[in-house]
Structure formats: structure tokens, C-alpha cells
Chain A
Amino acid sequence: MTTGTPVIEVQHLTKRYRDTLAVDDVSFTIEKDTIYGLLGRNGAGKTTVMSILTAQNFATSGDVRVFGMHPYENAKVLSRMCFVRESQKYPDDALPRHAFASARLFFPNWDQEFAERLIDEFQLPMKRRIKKLSRGQLSAVGVIIGLAARAEITFFDEPYLGLDAVARQIFYDRLLEDYAEHPRTVILSSHLIDEVSNLIERVLVIDRGRIVMNESTDAVRDRAANIVGDARAVDAFVAGREVIHRETLGTVASVTVLGRLTADDRAQLAAAGLDVAPVSLQQLIVRTTQHAAESSPAASGTIPADIDEGALR
């Protein structure tokens, strides 16, 4: 569900570390009650952006407003947000139950019953010190806090690190179920783009500190199509179009082309007996970020302003 009410407004946000530009003059808004995928390569600036939005880190310049207010040292704003880092530190010698008891103190919408169900489902050992937990169990502690806190804006920073496929599925299922009952804004940063593609309603792609895409997942998917059928017929159809991926098996080909299909195109496809299949979001995003990299002259160089539109053309 997309409401059009912004909960986060970012204007010209820049973050410079000594010799690197982590976030480069970024402006975007995040809408209320929507699940966002914050996607991008390692070091693209995902964690930096999330820590600045939650006032854990500081902007070099630019303006960040959450619920219309500045988040820094603002308990009214912060108490409505939850951001558990991928490399979150916990108090010395703390057990998982200590961490959850703390979260219960600070998050007004905390649901203890939900937390306990998640502990059970993730099979989290409650009597082992957090620092002795495995990577996956450590991630589970963060995931449980993020879900059960039910904050109005929840950030998940690579929440699946070390989680096995079953645990990841539990996370996706519970997130969607709980989101349906208690709508809220979720910003999920992830590398596993295809795995989360059914979860996210909007994609926010960040590359080299710039936002290169902020669109609904459906609109992104519409930007390309997979044409499947007889190889010769497929080749005839894709001639002159930009092909980003091709697979063939015998006489059957599956080719991904960029560009929205027009009604004419669809008629042509039907006449040729070709099928249209959905495109992998991952392929599209990879393509977008590669494009952005190619059109950027230097590592910290500027990306043309029209890249948002031009990236996929």
C-alpha cells in the first residue's frame, strides 16, 4: 500500500569521510506505511544513510526530517524509529533476554507475545551470552527486536546475515503478516534482491552514494520484459532493442529486453506465438548500477542528472 504521505524527507544530504564521499548530495522522500528495499552494492552508502536518518551518524551537509522534525537528540522522533545494525553491539555479558527486556522498555509498541513466538521460531538460545552466539543467531536477535518493536519506521540493515534459508523465510513471512495487521514503514537493505523482491513495494537503489532509482517495484519490473519462445521469432522481435540477458535451450530462447512493451508490441508477440515472462528484479538493478558506473567518469565523480531516467534505456 502506498499512501503518498512522506515520513522521511531528505534534502541534499552529503556525508564525507576523510577522503571518501559516502553520500553525495542525495534527496528523496520515504512514504508512510510502505516496505522499501534499499538496494546497492557493498559500500554504496546504505548503512551510512540509515544511520544518519536515525541520528546515529551525522551529515556533513544537507537536511533530514523525520515526521517533519529533526531526529538528532529528539526523543519524540527517535522513539518512533528502530534501527538495529548488522554489526550491532550489545552490553557486556548480556543474554538475549536482557536485550529484549531493554527493547520492551524503549519501544512503546513492543509486543512481548510476538517476540516470544519469534524466539521460538528462530530457535534462539536464550541462556547463551550474546557474544557467544553464532552469526545467524546474532542476526536473529536484531530481527526479533526490529519486528517486535513495531516501530513506525523500522530499518533492517542486511538482517539475514548468517541466517539459513528457513530462518530467512520465517523473517519474510512474519514481516509480511505483521505488516498486514500493523502497517508501518519498513526500510530493508539487502543484497539478496530477488529474495526480497516479492516483499518490497518500492525500490530505492543507491550507488556510489547517489540514489539512482526510487520507484515502485511494479514500475521497475515494467521497464523490461522476458520474451520466451522460438529462438528465431524471439530474435526477430528483439532486433533493434537493448538486450540485457539471453538464454537458449535448443530452439527455445529467453531474452530480456529493456523498455516498456507497448500495445503494438504485445499484439506482435501474440501473433508470433511468443510469451512474456516477468523479469528478475536483480538483473534490472545490476544493470542499472552498472550503467551508472559506466557513465560516471571517476570513482567519486558525478553522475549525470538524467541517470534516473536514462539508466535503463
Chain B
Amino acid sequence: MRATELNVVVDTGVAQTAAERKVWQLLARVPDPEIPVLSIVDLGIVRYVRRAADGALHVGITPTYTGCPATAAIRSATRAALDQAGFADALLEESLSPPWTSDWVTPEGRAKLEAFGIAPPGDAAAALRRAPEPVRCPRCGSLVTERISEFGSTPCKAHYVCSACREPFDHFKCI
């Protein structure tokens, strides 16, 4: 595993203990069940790994969408990964605030999405202002693309088609 993959630690500036580092590395290998090229760290949903004053190791995960059916699968996969690596006493917590944004998908995550054929998300604030950044076709790189539907096969994706190569593709929603 490349060290850069682990630089997405949310609590930046806080020195990590060996156990915390190990858990981050562990979680960087837990795949998202719906887009398995992404790990849950790439997705930006692991919010913290920290040893609290009570001595317990707390791991915080936030849901992408409130109704995302993958949330339960992610929780059990994370639990299993922690248990198998000897962190059975780590506390797995749901962290709701601040709410997840697609801006938290890491640069590595974005590169993996594009290589997988899913156009990565643009700036969420721009999309909210109804001035979204152009969406690049993950197949041919053209910026001349058209939105077919604001929704797609999973809660996190919208449906697009490329006007240059005519291929349909998914775009990771900006939220």
C-alpha cells in the first residue's frame, strides 16, 4: 500500500498512535459494496479513528445517503475487518454531523472512479448553485456530455451520455 493512500486522515495535525495508523490502513482495504474499486477511506466516510481518554478506540463512519442500502453492509464489513485484525474492542460509531459531501471523495478515490468508468464528482457548492462544472466522459475524455437523468442505479450516481463517443456512463452525484 502506498503511503499517500493513507494521507486522507481526517484528524490531520493530530499525531497518530501505532494502533490508529494500523486501523486506517485496515479500513483503506475495506471496499464499498456498490463500487468495490473504492475503499471506504477513498469514499471519505471514515471520519475518525482515535483512542479516547477512556482508553477505547473509537471509529466513526458517516453514511453517504440516509437511505443507502450499502450502509448496513459497510458497517458489518468494517466490524469484521476490525475483529479479524485484533481490534474486537474498538467501538464502531455512526457519525452524522457534519454530513457527508462528495467533496470528501479523496483524489485517489476520484482517479479510481474515472478508471472504473464513473465520472468523479465536481464541486458540490457549484452544483448547488446550479452552475455545475462540466462532466468529463470517463471513456474518451470529452467535455461535451449530456445528463440523461439526475438519478441512476445507486443513490450516489446520475446518468449521463457522451456526445462525442456516444457511450452512456455514470456520474458520481455532487452533493
Partners in one complex: no
Residues of A near any B CB (own CB < 8 A):
none
Residues of B near any A CB (own CB < 8 A):
none
